[in-house]
Amino acid sequence: MEKKDKLSEECGVFGIYDFDGADVASTIYYGLFALQHRGQESCGIAVSDTAGPKGKVLSSKDMGLLNEAFTPEILEKLKGDIGVGHVRYSTAGSSTRENAQPLVLNYVKGTLGLAHNGNLINTPELRHELEYTGAIFQTTIDSEIIAYLIARERLNSKTVEEAVGRAMKKIKGAYSLIIMSPRKLIGARDPFGFKPLCIGKRENAYILASETCALDTVGATFVRDVEPGEIVTISPEKGIESDKSMCIPKNQHARCVFEYIYFARPDSYFDGVSVYNSRILAGKFLAMDSPVDADLVVGVPESGNYAALGYSLQSGIPYGQAFVKNSYVGRTFIKPKQKNRESSVQVKLNVLREAVEGKRIIMIDDSIVRGTTSDRIVHMLRQAGAKEVHMRVSSPPFLWPCYFGTDVPAREQLIAYNRTVDEICSIIGADSLGYLKEERLHELVGDLGICKGCFNGNYPMDPPVEDIRGEFDK
């Protein structure tokens, strides 16, 4: 099996509560559509009617993309004015239908619908503790542990939001959560703020979503971001309530910097910072710090395009398109077998010979993980007649794995581990190679705190003693 050489994020989450009682399933569907880039393995929607029988939840989830999993007939059956939705890419727990979200729990206090983006690092301890007190797990994902903890804490809490706060004291790692109870919509973000979560409003409905682009898609206005460590509770009686008892000082915040470099859509804002501007800046910094004389600057679609534009604006070298991307290829497409001549890179991308022939090319990409993709793309440019290929990368070299929901693999699989930049350049076949300097990362995001663990090994919290990612895959 061909090892994937692009980064992937874990998930996208979306929730809505319409105080006027209108059905919300179609809004969740379109909101998730705007978040499809965050996960393409599975998707799901769960809704409830707050005026109907208390705790009755209707849900549908399946493997694949939204337009494969949901038909108008399925959406029509999902009647309810409060709901949560989820798109998933797995970093912990195998890719199966059972692991699709939202998770729906029926327990003594009613029902919970939960959607989670992120990755816990104390999963084994919590799972064993729950198993030894009688819990029976239906999935292999850490999100089910969060749901169980909330349900268990609810037995000794006055409110469901209090139970969420108690559960947050036990879980460690990255999480943005949207929880649907029979009469409340709750959003929670881990104290470090690894993953994004924002609040929107459309007429008399409130929305929680991973990215602001989802609010734009459904015609909602941005209200504010959920702060790192904050729990927000949305209800018709009290509007938005806030609990900040889990918040930590801002200088300890550790947002995933790859939201700005790669994961988030360029039209999103993450904690007040424009993703588009961050990528333009990254390209400008590359042009300042790693200049080279060339005829054309090109980006590897899609996330490399904006950094390439920034490089062009700063250097004065023309920006152009060198690649045609097959828009119909998602992460779930059937990969060609190694014995076949086709590579998955060539299925996804083709080079515009007329654009590159006889020219010195600066090629910008967002990252190099294992190096296999970069090697092929450089080769494709040379085959198309490029005279020189200079690669620039809008992130620093990966030297450490990520445990917080980005699938940066073990160190031994990283091309930058134990190699110099010149050695990497030689392996991928480029004429020169330059990475974004680590100290530039803070300039991409203003004064926001970010996690740089995958670049320097300094994690915001102690990583697990052993690499537990995928431990529960069966």
Query: Is the confidence at residue 333, as pLDDT, over 50?
Result: no
Range(s) within the chain of domains with CATH label 3.60.20.10: 11-253
Question: What pLDDT is stored for residue 2 in this prediction?
Answer: 40
Residue pLDDT, tens place only, 138-161: 888 888 999 999 999 999 999 999
Question: What pLDDT is stored for residue 382 in this prediction?
Answer: 97
Global model pTM greater than 0.75: yes
Q: Measured between alpha carbons, how far apart are the two ends of the chain, in Å?
A: 17
Phi, then psi, of 102 in degrees rounded to 5:
-70, 150
Question: What pLDDT is stored for residue 98 in this prediction?
Answer: 73
Question: What pLDDT is stored for residue 328 in this prediction?
Answer: 66
Q: What is the CATH number of domain 11-253?
A: 3.60.20.10
11 noted as active-site residue: yes
Helix (H, G, I), strand (E, B) or coil at 318: coil
- DSSP per-residue string spanning 400-432: S---SSS----GGG-TTTT--HHHHHHHHT-SE
| Least confident piece of the model among 120-134, 162-176, 439-453 | 120-134
Query: Is the confidence at residue 295, as pLDDT, over 70?
Result: yes
Integer Cα distance of 381 and 52 in angstroms: 60
Residue pLDDT, tens place only, 158-195: 999 999 999 999 999 999 999 999 999 999 999 999 99
Query: Is the confidence at residue 340, as pLDDT, over 80?
Result: no
Q: How far is CA 76 from CA 24, 61, 121, 163, 218, in A?
A: 10, 14, 38, 33, 18
Classified by CATH at the fold level, domain 273-456 comes out as Rossmann fold (3.40.50)
Residue pLDDT, tens place only, 36-63: 999 888 999 999 999 988 879 999 999 9
| Least confident piece of the model among 172-176, 302-306, 311-315 | 302-306
Query: Is the confidence at residue 468, as pLDDT, over 70?
Result: no
Structural Rg of the chain based on CA atoms: 23
| 359 confidence band (pLDDT: 50, 70, 90) | very high
Range(s) within the chain of domains with CATH label 3.40.50.2020: 273-456
